[in-house]
Amino acid sequence: MNRISAVIDRFGRAVLDNIEEMGKILILFLSVLMWMVRPPLKLRLIFKQMEFVGVKSIFVVVLTGTFTGMVMALQGYYGFRMFNAESLVGSTVALGMTRELGPVLTALMVTARAGSAMAAELGTMRVTEQIDALSVMAANPVKHLIVPRIIAGVVMLPALTIVSDFMGILGGYFVGVPILHINEGAFIKNITKMVDLGDIYNGLIKAAFFGLILSLVGCYKGFNTTGGAEGVGKATTEAVVLASVSILISDYFLTAIMF
């Protein structure tokens, strides 16, 4: 009897903890929104975060985008060859990149690169009591630390995604036309015919959401770190896992809503 109640107890606590965490993230988000519209904006801090989140992620995003496009072209080619429809490879790559793979892969890469860094940075600041020091200096830590990161995430993710989309299609083109000898005109014609502006823009809207999720989760995990250096490591791991899972799950719902 005791045991059963203990299991139920633990389950209930886990649910409550999760809900509590979600509530805390939401409260953090609301306070971010509140502080975002309250001037003065710390532009220098924002640009610094943008450079960190965006510019410094270009290389890894270009790499993943290009190779994803290339492998999609290769795989699509084997499928479409059965129907003599090789020229559809281009549009498949373009649609796949703009609608799904561009935003999601970019978001995952940035989560791994920048989201984890945010959690680690803020966590270290928390455990070394720098955040407390900021509060003492009457500088709101949310405004100084979190708002720039979130703005950087929301703005930079779409920019990175469009680069990723483009590089993916370019990669698909280089595999399709020179290597697999698909007719160039049909390849490009099918891309422009099948891909709509909506596909690109909805992908970018998704990317902005993912940017919000990964920076928010990273900041929350770092901001609420406890337990010294070990706690920082734990916070970083949790931030990456939670952000990645949230991105993939929210991707489904965003897709269902938008397309």
Partner 1 sequence: MSSISTEAKVGLFVLVALIILGYMSFRVGEGGFGLKKKGYPVQVVLDSATGLEKDASVQIAGVEVGRVEDISLRDGKALVTLRIIPEITLAKDAEATIKAYGILGDKYVDIAPGTPGEERIEAGGQIARTGRQADIDKLLSELGAIAGDVMEVTASLKNTVGSVEGEENIRAIIHNTRVITEDLGRIVRQNDAKLSLMVENLSEASVEMRRAFATLNSIVEKVDRGEGTIGQLVENKEAFDNLNQSLASLRNITDKINRGEGSIGKLVNDEDTVENLNASLQSLGKSMEGIDRFVSKSEQFRTFLGYRGEYLFDSGDGKSYLDLTIRPKEDYFYVLGLVTDPRGERTVTDSTTNGETTRTESWEKNELLFTAQIGKRFKDIALRGGVFESTGGVGVDYFALDDRLKLTFEAFDFGSDRNAHLKTYAEYRLLKHIYLSAGWDDVISNEGGESPFIGFAIRFEDEDLKYLLGSVPIPK
Which residues make up the interface to partner 1 (CB under 8 A)? 44, 47-48, 50-51, 54-55, 58, 83, 85, 98, 155, 158-160, 162-163, 165-166, 191-193, 195-197, 199-200, 204
Measured from the CB atom, the residue of 157 and 242 that comes closer to partner 1 is 157
Measured from the CB atom, the residue of 77 and 166 that comes closer to partner 1 is 166
CA distance 111 to 178: 34
Measured from the CB atom, the residue of 199 and 238 that comes closer to partner 1 is 199
Q: In the complex, what is the shortest distance from the CB of residue 6 to partner 1, in angstroms, rounded to a whole number?
A: 53
Q: In the complex, what is the shortest distance from the CB of residue 182 to partner 1, in angstroms, rounded to a whole number?
A: 17
Q: In the complex, what is the shortest distance from the CB of residue 204 to partner 1, in angstroms, rounded to a whole number?
A: 8
Q: In the complex, what is the shortest distance from the CB of residue 171 to partner 1, in angstroms, rounded to a whole number?
A: 14
CA-wise closest residue to 28 among 199, 146, 162? 146
* For residue 40, cis peptide bond before it (omega within 30 degrees of 0): yes
Q: In the complex, what is the shortest distance from the CB of residue 168 to partner 1, in angstroms, rounded to a whole number?
A: 11
Q: In the complex, what is the shortest distance from the CB of residue 77 to partner 1, in angstroms, rounded to a whole number?
A: 18
- Which CA distances in Å does 43 have to 47, 48, 131, 137, 143? 6, 8, 20, 20, 11
Measured from the CB atom, the residue of 114 and 235 that comes closer to partner 1 is 114
Question: From the CB of residue 80, how many other CB atoms can be counted at a distance below 10 Å?
Answer: 16
CA distance 115 to 214: 6
Measured from the CB atom, the residue of 36 and 231 that comes closer to partner 1 is 36
Token code pair at residue 236: 């970083």
Measured from the CB atom, the residue of 98 and 111 that comes closer to partner 1 is 98
| Cβ-count burial 34-59 (b if 16+ within 10 Å, e if not) | ebbeeeeebeebbeebbebbbeebee
CA distance 219 to 31: 13
